[in-house]
C-alpha cells in the first residue's frame, strides 16, 4: 500500500536549498508521531535518466537521527528532481515522504 506505516511517522517540513550551484542542503523534521528510534534516509534523482542517489553526508540531531543532508557536486537539470525520504523503526512501520521539486527555480 502506498501509505503503509503509522500515521504521523513520515517526515515534515522538507526543504532543499542550492548554494553556489553545486552544493545542496536538504532538511526535514521527524514525523510528529514517529517512534523515538526512527531513522530517516534521503534519496534523490535529478532526472528520470539519472540514477537514484542516497545522501552521503547526513546532518544529525542530538539523538543521532538523520534530519538533513548535504550533497556536493550537484548538477541541476531543468526537469523536476524527485526526492524520497523513508524511515525505519524497531517499533512500527514508517510512512515514506516523496516530492518532485523544480530545483532550477
CA distance 97 to 12: 8
∠ at Cα 76 (83, 21), nearest 5°? 115
The pTM for the full model equals: 0.87
Q: In order of start, what are the domains of the chain with their CATH numbers?
A: 12-30+38-102 (2.60.40.10)
Residues 37-55, mean pLDDT to the nearest whole number: 88
- Read off the C-alpha cell for 27: 532538511
Pick from 76, 45, 71: nearest CA to 57: 71
Q: What proportions of the chain, in percent to the nearest 5, are helix, strand and coil?
A: 0, 45, 55
User: CB pairs under 8 A, 24+ apart, for 55-62?
Assistant: 55/26, 59/27
Predicted confidence band at 50 (pLDDT cuts at 50, 70, 90)?
confident
pLDDT in tens, 65-103: 999 999 988 877 667 889 999 999 998 999 999 999 887
Cell representation of residue 4: 503503509
Residue 1 has pLDDT above 60, yes or no: no
Amino acid at each position: 500500500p502506498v501509505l503503509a506505516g503509522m500515521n504521523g511517522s513520515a517526515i515534515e517540513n522538507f526543504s532543499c536549498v542550492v548554494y553556489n550551484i553545486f552544493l545542496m542542503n536538504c532538511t526535514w523534521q521527524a514525523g510528529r508521531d514517529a517512534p523515538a528510534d526512527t531513522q530517516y534516509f534521503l534519496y534523490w534523482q535529478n532526472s528520470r535518466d539519472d540514477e537514484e542517489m542516497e545522501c552521503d553526508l547526513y546532518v544529525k540531531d542530538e539523538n543521532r537521527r538523520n534530519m538533513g543532508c548535504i550533497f556536493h557536486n550537484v548538477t541541476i537539470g531543468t526537469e523536476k528532481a524527485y526526492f524520497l525520504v523513508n524511515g525505519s523503526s524497531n517499533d512500527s512501520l514508517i510512512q515514506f515522504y516523496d516530492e518532485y521539486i523544480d530545483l532550477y527555480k
